Amino acid sequence: MTKGTKGAGFPSADLVRAVLKGHSGLGLAFAALLYLICLTGTIAVFANEFQRWENPAVKHMETMSGEAAQAAYRAALDRAEGSVEHVLIIMPSEDRPWPTIRVDAKDGSQISWVADNAGRITGKVREGWTQFLTRLHINLHLPRSWGGFIVGLTGVALLSSLISGVLAHPRIFRDAFHLRLGGSRRLQEADLHNRIGVWGLPFHLIVSLTGALLGLSTIIIGALGMAVFQGDTAKVYAIFTPPHPAEDARPAPPLDLRPMFAQIAARAPRGRISYLAVEHPAEVGGAAMFEVDDGSSRLANADSYAFDRQGKLYHEQKAAQNNVGQQILGSLGPLHFGWFGGGSVKIAYSLLGLGLTYLAAGGVTIWLARRRDKGRPAPGWERVWTALVWGQPVALTCAAFAALFTPSVMPLIWAWAAVGIGALIAAALFPSAIVSQAGRAITGTLLIVLAAVHSAFFGTGDSMALIVDGALGLTGFILLATLILRISVPQKAVPAERRRA
Amino acid sequence: MSPEAHFTAVTLILGNSAAGAWMLRRAWSRKAGKAPWRWAGLCMLLLAIILAASMLGNGRGTFTALTLIGVAGLGVVASGYTIRPAKAGRAAREGLAPEPAERVPSAWRTTLRWSLAGPIGLVAAMSLGISYAVWAPGEAQTRLLIGGLIVPLAWGGAMAWTLADSRILRATAVLVGTAIVGFGAAMLRGFA
């Protein structure tokens, strides 16, 4: 670090200024990515609810029998064109109360079906918006390894910003309750930035660390394979995944899943099958892997079982016997997305996620306000940043709107990209205040129209779809209210000693 | 756990957290006699975590409490907002928010600094994570996962350090040295 002032306590003023320089530079370099990833992550907390919103007419069920699962899987195989590589059967759950049967063809194409409780296929699953949203968050719709790396790198930048943010603000814990609104824009934003930063710190650390590890996993495994397994990354994956039966591509009738369901019911009577993956279903070397929620309160509570074609159990891993590494691995996803404590934790995650999104956006606002205060305003960057911040909600809403008309993801990507670019072009033509107001007005209006159109044309068969529509409409009204009303905040006197501080 | 029991548990944790945050704010706002309120607040937050762990399970409960404490704390902060008079802006500005350090612009130093924060930091962090996975005792999965967690943590730390440190050659030497020693040690032993 820069040389500290002699005799000064830790951290010295010079250290603070040096760290603040790094914090500021890193935040600016990753601002747009941080904002986009945090915003989409906040919305993606409700991925299961959005999937129900996309399929409000699907019949609900609590469980699905082995007989029904077998029938649905056979029906999905019969509908497949060409050779099938895998079949993934996601069983009904509290979050998504219907089964999904996804067939992966050898040419890489995928198709997902939904079935009723007798195992009859009732139609294709609509998941365009959910897929668009989650893939935007996970890999930015780039090739998976590259996109994942960029998102992982952004997670590391966030983690680094948290470290430097705490070091750069020696009063951050002492001032943990200061929230002074009004007066200088920069100071107001700094108060919001620091308060959200300090109270959300455990959440920020959890999501950035888990997100960074998930995003960087491919490159970490690649490096590990290179360094200690002579470049064979399959050996690294093999440490974590059930072994596969010997490859045998000779054709065979589809695997019979029913005896496997019966064995699992006997082995784990309190368990609930989350999903099963059938590998090479029409080959002699076929196998089926089951993930079974053991009903415990552990974060990683999935037992796994693997059966060969004859229904012989050749792998069993109980969650209760997981070592620390397996527990960490099983906890990464739930901890990152907030899928471990029901609706209350999801709502808390969305609020804290919104705070993190504000943190990413507010950091740049502080930098811009500081430049303005010092007589070096950057009006061009102010317009670009406003267009990016308010263009993304418009672009995401347009993508959700497009999802009403098409089940595929590609048109949604185009809609999102076109609107996002359009917002940046608008930044060249209009001042940032107009761009900000227009962004809020358009997002608010579109959200209300989206909720109304969805409930009118897709029906209200699922209470969750109604709740999502209500939440979208309410968000739209709040955004419009910030424009229409000047919310008057009751004046509170600032205590004298706090003003001096 | 039934939905009703879960709701009760969450309400209890949230209430405890809000009470703890409120007590801490009492300590913060007082001129004297801060310590009892501070300790009471910290104890309430700790109690929220213990309650959560006992009702919802160790891992699930602890992380639920950490999440809800953040929400409750922000709620208490928001409830205590004050309005700063517009005229106070200049005066307040002088006493707050230090300015970032100014550095003499230098293309090679900037390039080296960002290289250290980026690819060189990544390689050094990888070497630490991988050598942990190779050398530490314990189950293979545990060593690999902890090694994996070390990578983003070490890389994030390296980023924070190199972007702040003005002695850039020292940072270069440390990161390059770490990478060589870390990967060397990992390759020497191999994974067992």
pTM to 2 decimals? 0.92
Record: contact B163-A182, CB cut-off 8 A: no
What chain B residue is nearest to A349 in terms of C-alpha separation?
B67
Report d(CA B54, CA B61) in Å as an integer: 7
Contact B93 A349 (CB under 8 A): no
pLDDT tens string A112-123: 999 999 999 999
Least confident of A11-20, A89-98, B85-94: B85-94
Tens digits of per-residue pLDDT, A261-271? 999 999 999 89
Q: How many CA atoms lie within 13 A of A152 on its CB side?
A: 23
For chain B, which ranges sit under pLDDT 50?
Answer: 95
Distance CA A52, CA A466 (A): 10
pLDDT band for position A497 (cuts 50, 70, 90): very low
Please, which pLDDT band fits residue A5 given cuts at 50, 70 and 90?
very low
Long-range contact pairs involving A426-434 (C-beta distance under 8 Å, separation at least 24): A426/A387, A426/A391, A427/A383, A427/A384, A427/A386, A427/A387, A428/A383, A430/A383, A431/A383, A432/A379, A432/A382, A432/A383, A432/A385, A432/A386, A432/A387
CB contacts, 8 Å: B147 with chain A: 224
What is the average pLDDT value for chain A, to the nearest integer? Answer: 90
Interface of B with A in 124-183 (CB under 8 A): 126, 129-130, 133-134, 138-149, 151-153, 155-157, 159-167, 183
Single-letter code of the amino acid located at A182 = G
The interface predicted TM-score of the complex, written ipTM, equals 0.93
Nearest CA distance, B40 vs chain A (angstrom): 17
Q: Which of A17, A156, A348 sits opposite B159 (nearest CB)?
A: A156
Angle CA(B24)–CA(B27)–CA(B31) in degrees, nearest 5? 160
Within 8 A of B155 by CB-CB distance, chain A residues are 156, 160, 212
Tokens of A112: 């997902």
- Residue pLDDT, tens place only, A163-213: 999 988 888 888 889 888 887 788 888 899 999 999 999 999 999 999 999
Interchain contact, A24 vs B142, CB within 8 Å: no
* Chain A neighbors of B164, CB-CB under 8 A: 1-2, 15, 18-19, 21-22, 164
pLDDT of residue B188: 83
Best of B12, B14, B67 to disrupt the A interface (most A CBs within 10 Å) is: B67
Q: What is the pLDDT of residue A232?
A: 84
**Interval A436-447: pLDDT, tens:** 999 999 999 999
